Chains A and B, each alone.
Chain A
């Protein structure tokens, strides 16, 4: 399963997303815990 863990910048909870969120410019993540929406585009560390 292709997944990357992310931290919500608002509530700091951890969840995971498909790597496509790091590659698609207009894709944004939705925190399942606090509903905060944020971009991780090109943020993936090597």
Chain B
């Protein structure tokens, strides 16, 4: 099967027609798509959304459909990975170590070369890129990978970087110095050289998952994406950046250009994964030299600031691996969306040794700089049920005895409560003592009674569904 966004959509729609929603009604790129996604999120529904008639910021109907919420369903990604949803982070992490070296194809075999625009033919304002939230200054590339090549290692580096489409041929990019792409740009700036880069937008969800994996600078993201996908990524030479600059042949869009050395322009504010707007910054910008796309290309948007699994799966896998080395009886980990998918980790361990729960907390908190708080629970707590999580926190935790505080560590840049570059990581040990006779017994009804009582034998289903649902349970 061809591994691209549109063939995935066709495959998934045939298999799960209920999970792909095509919207033919006209919608505005400014706020309306986000409003619709927000309302679906409140209902906890995350179908793949395909908007077939988007009016751009310029008020024109865009020729390109828009796809969003692709990465927002853990259930969907789990089925795609043939993994239980509760183990998805761990299994994704395991698969992220696999590598398939990419292959290079000729231009004629690359769908992304079906339409090529250079110079004055380029007009980014015709794309259905969204203005997501109030205070965003304009349409943004939110789901595009920015690729460049390391000047010494020659390896490709790809990462999601937000990009404000500022006019027909300019994109202003958030490129933090701590990122690999930021580092490669700094190496070029030191030599007063512009950096050749390409945004590529729209790919198979497993390519997105594989490319988003955190790997060393000496490793190829394209090879990691191939590993996740289970087949090599197909690459093709760029149009304007040289034949040695390879881009994904099966992407929907490729936007080529140069990040200008030593030059900065205002970028942002932008609504971020924290569900707050980050401030405007003085950031580099990209002068676009070519745009290539498929005939009938679909634009891909990542609904930033709303539920998606990209960060959370990576956090879970890395934490699981790190904790497991110290506490082999870790059973699971979850990075809930209530913690922005990044800041919070719920660990579950089979606690055999007193103190191992605190070791697990230290390991989890130091597994990534974005992890801010971690909780550890026993195996009788379903860490995917926040009612159970909070109940265990309420009844198994004492503030003086069960807390781990690690001050003075690098803090997430976009955390609104961050006091400075350094912040505090805190762990909460919500486990019981190892000896069960030192702790109260949890309420239970004998199992045989629970199994024999069928609610619907006493209250028929149609009567049951008429009973008001209690939000404040």
Contact = CB atoms under 8 A, between A and B. Distances in A.
Given A32-B135, A32-B137, A3 B266 contact: no
A20 B277 CA distance: 17
A1 interface: yes
B282 A21 contact: yes
B231 to A, nearest CB: 41
User: Most chain-A CB neighbours within 10 Å: which of B265, B280, B413, B414?
Assistant: B280
Contact of B280 (A18, A24, A35): A18
Given A1-B278, A15-B269, A17-B280, A30 B416 contact: no
Contact of A21 (B135, B137, B280, B413): B280
A27 B264 contact: yes
Contacts of B278: 1
Given A27-B264, A29-B266, A32-B137, A18 B282 contact: yes
A10 to B, nearest CB: 14
A24 to B, nearest CB: 6
Nearest to B282: A27
Interface string B66-78: 0000000000000
Interface of B: 135-138, 264-266, 269, 276-282, 413-418
A45 interface: no
Interface in A23-39: 24, 27-32, 35, 37
A30 B266 contact: yes
Contact of A16 (B138, B264, B279, B414): B279
Given A15-B135, A32-B137, A1 B269 contact: no
A29 B136 CA distance: 13
Contact of B279 (A3, A27, A31, A37): A3
A12 to B, nearest CB: 15
Given A1-B413, A1-B418, A15-B269, A30 B279 contact: no
A28 B418 contact: no
B282 A20 contact: yes
Contacts of A20: 281-282
Contacts of B136: 32
